[in-house]
Amino acid sequence: MTETYSYAVFRHETDAPHWDLFITGGGRAMHWIVPSGIPLEEKDKRLAVEGGAAEGLPGEAPGEGAYADGYGRGEAAPWDRGTCTIERSNKIKMVLNVGGERMRGKYLLIIPAWGRWTEKRLWVIEKIGRA
C-alpha cells in the first residue's frame, strides 16, 4: 500500500551549509540532513544524516527563516516542496516517488551496514528513476 506525504527541502546556510529534507504526513515527521545536496541525476548518491522529527511541529516541516538543527544555527530558504508517495518502507529502506519542481522522480533512501551503528543513523539517498 502506498501512502501520500508532503515533503520540503530547505537550503540551510550555516558554518556547514547543507540541505534539510523533511517528509511529513500520517502523524509522522522524518528529517535528513544532506550535506552535498539532493541528487538530481539518476544513479547519483549522497550521504543523508538522520536528523529526527521536526521538534514542536508534529507532522509538519518547519518554515523558512532562522532555526537550529544540530548542525548549527542559520537561515533556511525553501529549495523545493510538494508531495511524494512512499512505495516501500521498512527500518532500513524507503522508496519514494517524488513530484516536485526540482526533486522529481524515484528516490531510494537506505541505511548501509556502515550507517547503522552511529549515534545518528547514516543513510544514502540515491535517485533511481525519472518521474
For 56-67, what is each residue's pLDDT tens digit? 333 445 554 445
Q: 22, 36 in Cβ contact below 8 A?
A: no
pLDDT one-digit tens code per residue, 11-45: 988 888 899 999 998 888 899 999 999 999 999 99
Give mean pLDDT, residues 75-84.
Answer: 92
DSSP code of residue 59: T
Q: What pLDDT does 49 receive?
A: 94
| pTM for this entry | 0.83
Cell numbers representing residue 65 in the block: 527563516
Cβ neighbours for 119, distance < 8 A, ≥ 6 positions apart? none
Where does the pLDDT of residue 117 fall: very low under 50, low under 70, confident under 90, or very high at 90 and above?
Answer: confident
Ranges of each domain in the chain: 3-129
DSSP code of residue 52: -
**Nearest to 85, CA basis, from 25, 19, 21, 20:** 25
Q: Share the mean pLDDT of the chain.
A: 84
